[in-house]
Amino acid sequence: MENAKRDYLRTIAGRLGFPNSEILIGLLDTMLSEREAQWMAHLPGTPHDLAERLGQDEGEVAQGLADLYDRGLVLLEEAPEGSRYVTTENPGWFMDLILFDTRYEERYGEAFLDRWREFYNKELVHTYEHPDPEARPWRVIPIVEKVEDTRSILPFEQVAGLVRQAERISVQRCPCRVRERACDNPLETCFAFDHVAEYHIRRGVGREVTVEEALDILKRCEELGLVHTTENTDRPTVICNCCSCCCVFLRAITVHGKQAVMEESRFQAVVDQGACIACGTCEERCHFGAIRRREGPAQVDAALCMGCGLCASTCPAGAITLVEVKDPTFIPKQQWSLLDEILPEGG
Ligand code: SF4
Ligand code: SF4
């Protein structure tokens, strides 16, 4: 690799928080030509800004940035002087934008996915520790039918509520399962809404679906024992359906032993000790080891329960309900959004 290219790649990796990561620099090297790396390293800016700063042809820069946008490597953001290209500073989001897209592994093969897996497990996951609950980017959504008193549940805490209020819905393949390849769960389980959905559909990585189709997929995910999750805000724009062997957040908890990664739902499982027949189904369903039989009815470990409701939805005795343990103020008002950085071209 030429020195100039390496400097550009180090700048891009640095913005993502990993200036010395040889794995990330190697991945960027695979994906970018030297000219493209130079453009990315000099963002933010419009094609006009960049062309002027670098002494290059504006048409060529505009075409190149549009191509990088299509490949998920740069994004568009609203600025006072109009929309401009930016690079995200969120390494997990950057990884997802690439792994949503089948074109990368078609071009670079399985070794490309292996490198992302190595990056996540050796480097990225070690940045996933957020003692302040408000700083946790992701949150569990409970299975609403299992909440004891549904009056306490808010519209954005329900998968059906989020789906029904969306004007457009897209479904993408799960970038975590694409990267880890640790289970046979279906890939097409990541949902986006409205502006985020439009972005994925425009890039050709999202498939537009109806409300009914989205609800069918979500039901199937629940049956398969996948945990519904979303952004930890009151205006989420996505729903994921997560397994603990692949998901960046669940795997961080279950494989890497990090607890303060993702916010629980506001609910927790409670077992009716008289009704439990000690069958053990709930133990098998729980990803977090939070419910166990100890020579008798199942007991919930409140410190481990994430409030997903997967145990409750298959309990043959109907012995488990979700009860509210935190009030709605525990869900942060919107502080950030995937919407901020993905304006469509010219948007
Ligand atoms: S699934 Fe229900 S009945 Fe079976 S052990 Fe768990 S709580 Fe008890
Ligand atoms: S016990 Fe496990 S499966 Fe049940 S709600 Fe808690 S985290 Fe989910």
**Which ligand sits nearest to residue 285's alpha carbon?**
2
- The H or E element spanning position 238 is strand 238-242
CA–centroid distance, residue 214 to ligand 1 (Å): 29
pLDDT in tens, 277-295: 999 999 999 999 999 998 8
Inter-residue contact 228 to 241 (CB < 8 Å): yes
Give residue 169's pLDDT. 97
Q: What is the mean pLDDT of residues 253-263?
A: 90
Give residue 208's pLDDT. 98
pLDDT at 61 exceeding the cut of 70: yes
Q: What is the mean pLDDT of residues 61-67?
A: 97
Give residue 223's pLDDT. 95
**Cα torsion for 97, 103, 107, 109, to the nearest 10°?**
70
Domains annotated on the chain, with CATH: 3-126 (1.10.10.10), 130-263 (no CATH), 267-326 (3.30.70.20)
Ligand 2 atom at minimal distance to the Cα of residue 306: 7
Ligand 1 first shell, C-beta below 6 A: 271, 276-282, 293, 297-298, 315-317, 319-320
Q: Is 147 helix (H, G, I), strand (E, B) or coil?
A: strand
CA–centroid distance, residue 82 to ligand 2 (Å): 46
The predicted model scores a pTM of 0.91
β pairing state of 169-173 and 207-208: antiparallel
CA distance 73 to 91: 11
Instruction: Kindly report the protein residue whose alpha carbon is nearest to atom 4 of ligand 2.
Output: 311
Residue partners of 49: CB distance under 8 A and separation at least 6: 84
- The H or E element spanning position 197 is helix 194-203
pLDDT in tens, 124-157: 999 988 878 778 888 999 987 777 777 676 767 8
* Ligand 1 site-directed mutation target among 268, 270, 271, 301, most atoms within 8 Å of CB: 271
- Average pLDDT over all residues of the chain: 91
Inter-residue contact 67 to 32 (CB < 8 Å): no
CB atoms within 10 A of CB 114: 12
pLDDT at 346 exceeding the cut of 70: no
Confidence of residue 343 (pLDDT cuts 50, 70, 90): low
Q: CA 95: distance to chain centroid? A: 10
Give residue 193's pLDDT. 94
Query: Which residue type occupies 21?
Result: S
Q: Which of 4-13, 77-86, 182-191 has the lowest mean pLDDT?
A: 77-86
C-alpha separations of 150 from 129, 135, 144 in Å: 31, 27, 7
Percent of the chain with pLDDT over 90: 76
Instruction: Kindly report the protein residue whose alpha carbon is nearest to atom 8 of ligand 2.
Output: 308
Comparison of pLDDT for 233 and 182, the residue scoring more: 182
Give residue 335's pLDDT. 57
CA distance 180 to 244: 11
- The H or E element spanning position 37 is helix 34-41
**Which ligand sits nearest to residue 272's alpha carbon?**
1
**Which ligand sits nearest to residue 226's alpha carbon?**
2
pLDDT in tens, 293-338: 988 999 999 999 999 999 999 999 999 999 999 887 777 776 555 5
Q: 25 CB less than 6 Å from ligand 2? A: no
pLDDT at 35 exceeding the cut of 80: yes
**Considering only CA atoms, which of 262, 272, 273 is closest in space to residue 306?**
262
pLDDT in tens, 167-226: 999 999 999 999 999 999 999 999 999 989 999 999 999 999 999 999 999 999 999 999
Give residue 345's pLDDT. 43
Q: 227 CB less than 6 Å from ligand 2? A: no
